[in-house]
Structure 1
Amino acid sequence: MKEYVLLTSDRIGEDEDLLNWLGEASEFAGSLPPKKPKCPKQQNDRGK
């Protein structure tokens, strides 16, 4: 995973604050379009 978030205790005061933040993050992630599938890598005959 390339992107991640680190939340330190000084940024989250109460458990409810964390749950609210996680809910907003989840809603945002759910609103993003799905990723396009990667093209399969082509096999080459080198090294045989």
Structure 2
Amino acid sequence: MINLLTALLYDWSNGVIMIGVFALVVVILIGVLINFMLSGKGKEDS
């Protein structure tokens, strides 16, 4: 059990994949935020 836990903690490929997924989510959220900011300016008339 301890060997499995240390293998998961020190597995570089797992960490690289998680960092990549986190970076992808952050980029998507920033894109959605910029989209909301740009599309909100045209709806001030209504």
Give the TM-score normalised by the residue count of structure 1.
0.41
Higher helix share: 2
